[in-house]
Amino acid sequence: MAEEVKGKLVIIGGAEDKEDKCEILKEVVNLAGGRESKIVIMTTATEKPVEVGNLYISIFKKLGANDVKVVNINSREDKEINYARDVLKDCSCVFFTGGDQLRITSILGGSGIDKLLKQLYKEGTLIVGTSAGASVMSQTMIVEGNDEDSPRKCTIKMAPGLGLLKDVIIDQHFAQRGRIGRLLAAIAQNPNNLGIGIDEDTAIVVEKNSFRVIGSNAVTVVEGRKLKHSNVSESSPNEILALTNIILHILPPGYGYDLENWVPKVKFKEDKV
């Protein structure tokens, strides 16, 4: 029997509200322990680590978190890795910022930090990622692809992610950048994975074997296990893919999804008296 995971994931589609209601970031602080939370902001993905790190420190402290630190691992040097390991061991939340997801995996992959993150997640630490930080949560991640294009082999480039969420492929800034084609291309090549496209200012909160949607927009779920026909194996790189019997769900805030059984969880409104 697989070991039970005690931690939670908050996977954000990017451009989360940082000035008004801050619904998603408030939920991060709440899940991390409120005033007792110890949040570590990982700025590896961004080319502006000081600016981005200071922004999130200000926001999280404004929302009630007293202990917020920034860790910028910019290389695979032992000094940086060892410092990060010491700080991460004592935190209640790890928050990955946006930027370039390949920077996260190429710097942290095989460094020992990737294994530590999985251990912390299993033991109860909250792991959060926004934009590029969202993409790395899955075992297979989208690195780049054409926005607003029909699904084609050349639409998408993929690489191994951090593997915190298995059998899932995440895409972010989803509706705003017209990324349905590239997510369909990813699932055509990996039909045993679940495609999850997360809009801006929207997140999924993953706990055990399900997730719930929070924020102001929607989450698109693409199921490929019942795919009847695909020409992905014989098509040329620029040829439009044929996909039949793809199942697609649109889940607004308050809805959820059973990740074990691949079943949407519908939100029922109480009848007005």
* 135 is an active site residue: no
Beta-carbon-side half-sphere exposure of residue 130 (alpha carbons within 13 Å): 21
User: Per the residue annotation, which of 131, 135, 138, 230 is the catalytic one?
Assistant: 131
H or E, element range at 219: strand 219-223
* 75 is an active site residue: no
Length of the chain: 273
Task: Name the residue among 10, 71, 9, 67 with its Cα closest to residue 36.
Answer: 67
* 131 is an active site residue: yes
User: Per the residue annotation, which of 16, 80, 200, 223 is the catalytic one?
Assistant: 200
H or E, element range at 144: strand 140-145
> How far out from the chain centre does Cα 152 lie?
23
Q: CB-based burial of residue 269 (10 Å sphere; 0-12 exposed, 13-18 middle, 19+ buried)?
A: exposed
| CA distance linking residue 85 with residue 167, whole number of Å | 27
For tokens 């993409």, what's the residue?
Answer: 135
User: Per the residue annotation, which of 37, 111, 173, 230 is the catalytic one?
Assistant: 173
Catalytic residues: 131, 173, 200
